[in-house]
Structure 1
């Protein structure tokens, strides 16, 4: 059996949703089911993030789902984004559920703001929190500085990632930064958050929700929308793995966990980097986009700066990245909006449609155990 994404749905993306996260989740799931031409009664499985505030049973009650045969959650924040789909695929393939909905809902701007300092219950925090590394940006800045040293890249290379994302978001009416492109000078002028990261190196804080519907390819072909076939899915953790603070590896300025994911994706799908039409990369911080390009095999280690030069990751470039604007330009819904964009690219309905019929790559949060997907129009 092969599984596919048959429906996608989302709320609007805002800075103050004015409603509960549970309501956001239900709205997105209803939209995804409508998109697939299914009803709540068809759903037999729910998957979300451990960080999501909406229990599966609460979501089921609000939707009117009578029975669930599969319920699970994935940890490590944004690293779960593609893994929730992998869990749904495994459930469908194993016959544990017929239709599984993956969802993520959060009021991350009007509620708990991830960009602020926090007290972590993780015992590993004792290695970095006393030194003042208490925000994601501060933690990533350490890795970013080492990457600059090792690769010869510059802060302008980080800025080029943001410029590309904002240029794509500017033509996406669903993006928060619709109509608001920037230049490299805007990036250079943005305030420091934690050197070498500026404000425009950091993703947004957003309110909103996204849901996707996973079912068998056979069933998906009979539904309302063209299926996005899950050609491969993978999870990965690297050696010496910490959560955002893997400072004790022999090579600090790299993302070996994404290499673990990449090798599985290419082997299982039969595709390689040269086959990918567009990549939807998790862009919570710009340095990690460059590192991902290298770990995924789009360029050798330390050479992503050459790939992104002269619009290489923009529409019409060698490898268009995040045609929807990504989390830097569209919204930060823990990577789930990136999966929805990949499905639109497969369907041919994206606002910034990338030509061709090749597969689309999606990645999840980096700096943590991570995950990835390869979606295709057919096998």
Structure 2
């Protein structure tokens, strides 16, 4: 196999999940990890039997084709631009950028250099979500009508050791968790055309209860409870609620409704979970998961798909157009809240190709 060299910048919490999952994909050849905190990079390298290097070394290494950018959101675009300037394709953690303007600048820079950009989430490639996609594509729901997308919790300061960035610009429940839900909805229904919404910040500061900073208070600079509606090009209208202010709730993560049936889609922050289908006149019934990658955390399959796409000269699925569209949609909720108007979405994106046979031939992975 003609492997693709990978350099990882950013060795925080999420990097362990990426590095563990990357072992599942033979095409990925990790050439090193880097972080501004050298000690953190060395710890992660030791954990996975890799080499800790400087950012400059990774960018200068001709054997590295893709930089996987796992930095905090406010650094995503700056690091991605560095990678592009070094002649590397780049794949970032979500969101693509902390606002649409900088995400658009990144997309334009990549196009000008003839390089690829990609971004998480790639959970929509998981077996349960691809099973839901296959059911929708088969027509069992009839004409798409609507749905709900719900993520609500008390806040990430309960468990994250350094939760500050969740409450800074580029954070909040919409830009942190919204990418999972909206990306999966675009995978299932297609692009969004309009957004309406409200956004509030009930508290000006948050109390950290995780270690090692238990008892410390941090300021809030973004909306922490967002409620809105998305109109899709296909005609469906989906309600969305994203919150760091809710003690508990009973909503399922995703429900989709059509003229002939309804579909329960599992948590889009995971690759697996139970899909349930109700056909008109019946009741919800569990559906067999017909696609692979539903039995674990494959957080890096988007990178592997990009690597195969580079080798076979085809589009990759977790691509820049998709990530930029989702970023515009997420930002539009705040614009809608501030203006009291419905916001038109100007970007367009194709539904990513379904995953059904192998990453190497453009279908599924190995």
TM-score relative to the length of structure 2: 0.34
Task: Flag the structure with higher strand content.
Answer: 2
Larger relative CO (CA 8 A, sep 6+): 1 or 2? 1
